[in-house]
Structure 1
């Protein structure tokens, strides 16, 4: 068996390990799903009427029912970012409890450990996305997307999830405690708040508006919203892909460096 075959086999073994952990300890997975759903219910049923009529949404979105169509893509994006916390905690737990040292004594591919964490987290997050989309549809989200648009939107969300998972894995590697690992990815989860997920950037003060327009999650959100609801995408699609690829490369490189440094201790 060739070296790539060994690496693939070991990565699949680590993937099964992480999925079994998620099944046996579902509290983290439940929290990943629950947070975006609760935020969506809060904004739709508590704030939706005021926001829908107050921010001048296009396409007739002037009330709660219209606001759902504006909000849902942002909540779906938020669900894609929420899995980062679970990844950082899982990686840090392995690093601090000594299991990584045991793996190093075994004839397995070193890269398979991180690969198993990343792929397992991507799978869990995509399942969470499916549940969030189902709830959004149940409470009134009415996308106008074609099957090709859905495929493009899900592909972009999967790429974003992959990128953020590598970043979260790196954060888990450099964290000294599980508590600090759980806090490190929180800015990634809440950055959509400072973008176009809940209100248009045009409604924000000048400084915050500038940040909202140029931070990575705004073009990603505008692309997902455009694909699902038919709003103009413009240059957001290319910017979204560039941000996702850049974040993925940065996270992967940081994780590889951090893992090698830990191996030399």
Structure 2
């Protein structure tokens, strides 16, 4: 009787949630191993944000007025939260291109033949991209410290707040990779996914408080920038890092940036994960 019970239990389907988690981790591991075998993917992903740090710090550092000061140090402390946020959101293009490449090569069709959770392919891919993004942010932080960025330059902070800021950055980056996943499933080639993943990111990152104080913008543009989800993350990081922020604003996301960033990220994940999984099912049906 015991043997029969054990056989039935072994034959019973696994818990859907635990199976989805297990399958997602397997796919994530596969993508991480692929990254280690193609190190230029990581290296090229590091070059662009490092270039942004150096160019913006030394080219614009002495010409921007932040909090009444035009010193390069003040601008570097102001700038870094924007560079960090831009870096994690630009991972969107890589996520979209990677998924489009898997679709183009037929890898997704091979995954379909396996007894695995449907959403695990996308979740695993986005988790692997999150690990790569974390590595990029770590290296970028070292470069920022080398060029003169310092936490607590204009306010109180501590280790917990700094870690919370990096946590918000990674959450925002993870949310945006789901947008990239949807783009990657919606186009026919990896090249189109890369272009489609970047073209909309430039206005999102530049019409914000990432590189300039929004008070210098025209009123209608400032209103857009202050309600931009990207701006909320940037302002939250400046608050947690203890760096100079933008001028006071009545806009709710700027008055409550940490909460606003959390809400924006959760909403983006909820919407675009649902759309991406639905698109994946229809694309592979």
Give, in angstroms, the shift of residue 231 of structure 1: 4.7
Please say which of residues 231-240 and 81-90 is displaced more in the overlay.
231-240
Please say which of residues 20-29 and 143-152 is displaced more in the overlay.
20-29
1:239 paired residue among 244, 260, 284: 260
Q: Which residue of 2 aligns with 1:159?
A: 171
Give, in angstroms, the shift of residue 30 of structure 1: 2.4
Name the CA distance, whole Å, in 2 between partners of 1:30 and 1:65. 28
CA RMSD of aligned residues (A): 1.8
Q: In the alignment, is residue 149 of structure 1 matched against residue 161 of structure 2?
A: yes
User: Please, what TM-score do these two structures have when normalized by structure 1?
Assistant: 0.91
Q: Which residue of 1 aligns with 2:98?
A: 90
User: Please, what TM-score do these two structures have when normalized by structure 2?
Assistant: 0.85
2:279 paired residue among 255, 258, 263: 258
SS of the residue corresponding to residue 50 of structure 1 reads coil
Name the CA distance, whole Å, in 2 between partners of 1:133 and 1:189. 22
Unpaired segments ≥5 residues, structure 2: 1-9, 246-253
Q: Report the structure number with the largest CA radius of gyration.
A: 2
Q: 1:80, 1:161 within 8 Å by CA — same for their partners in 2?
A: yes
2:86 paired residue among 78, 84, 103: 78
Q: Which residue of 1 aligns with 2:190?
A: 178
Name the CA distance, whole Å, in 1 between partners of 2:197 and 2:69. 33
Name the CA distance, whole Å, in 2 between partners of 1:146 and 1:28. 34
Name the CA distance, whole Å, in 1 between partners of 2:120 and 2:226. 38
SS of the residue corresponding to residue 28 of structure 1 reads helix
Give, in angstroms, the shift of residue 230 of structure 1: 4.8
**Cα distance per residue 1:28-61 (max 9 Å; x no partner):** 322322212111111111121111xxx2x12x74
Q: In the alignment, is residue 127 of structure 1 matched against residue 139 of structure 2?
A: no
Q: In the alignment, is residue 208 of structure 1 matched against residue 221 of structure 2?
A: yes
Q: Which residue of 2 aligns with 1:103?
A: 111
Q: Which residue of 2 aligns with 1:25?
A: 38
